[in-house]
Amino acid sequence: MADEDRPQIYLLTPTSFEPETFLPKLKAVLEAHEIACIRLCHASKDELELGRIADAIRELAHARDVALVIDSHIHLVERHGLDGVHLTDGARSIRHARKELGEDAIVGAYCGNSRHDGMNAGEAGADYVCFGPIGESALGTGERAEFDLFQWWSEMIEVPVVAEGALTLDLVRQFAPVSDWFAFGDEIWKSEDPVATLGALVAAMG
């Protein structure tokens, strides 16, 4: 697969991490690979902590022209100079997020394995739709998003589609022709060498 046809890489942070240990790993990955976007997935309810983490990741990301979005926290986007928000409730909050953040912000939507939710999200103005899990994962309901959904979407819908959740080398090979982005999180961060693990996943795209 030519580089221009290869899916882009969308990095997910872990839901829990210490910045002192995670940020050097993230920096190494950003320096080694071409990343399109990072999503801050930290599960902290402490907005001060989230804000500090967001500021630190934003500095790393924007220095390399990489976009940074945050899970769900619409009101933290402008406060911390982020590029947008990733919504986890399908199409329900997209119009509100767009009104709050403006037309230039990235607004993405996780839609599980529902074609209907994905289409509604696209019609509501989502910049991308995320389906998953692709592999065996507790993401969402745990019910897998199948290849046929991605194949149909890639043929019929112009809104970019992201594949997420328990991606393996074999699944990346299979889904690369029908995905615009791959979202990698635990797949690389739980390995001993995130840079090399991501390199292998990118190579599997063809």
- For 13-29, the pLDDT digits (tens) are 999 999 999 999 999 99
Residue 19 CA neighbour count, 13 Å, CB half: 13
Q: Distance between CA 83 and CA 62 in Å, rounded?
A: 10
Judge whether residue 2 has pLDDT over 70. no
Q: Distance between CA 170 and CA 156 in Å, rounded?
A: 25
Judge whether residue 86 has pLDDT over 70. yes
CATH number at residue 196: 3.20.20.70
User: What's the confidence (pLDDT) of residue 141?
Assistant: 84
Residue matched to tokens 């979407």: 153
Structural domain count of the chain: 1
User: What's the confidence (pLDDT) of residue 137?
Assistant: 86
Judge whether residue 179 has pLDDT over 60. yes
Rounded to an integer, the average pLDDT of 60-89 is 97
Judge whether residue 133 has pLDDT over 70. yes
Domain that holds residue 174: 3-204
Judge whether residue 84 has pLDDT over 80. yes
pLDDT above 90 as % of the chain: 94
User: What's the confidence (pLDDT) of residue 140?
Assistant: 83
Q: Which two tokens stand for residue 27?
A: 């920096």
Return the bridge partners of 183, or none.
10, 164
Judge whether residue 38 has pLDDT over 80. yes
Rounded to an integer, the average pLDDT of 144-151 is 98
Residue 1: pLDDT band with limits 50, 70, 90: low
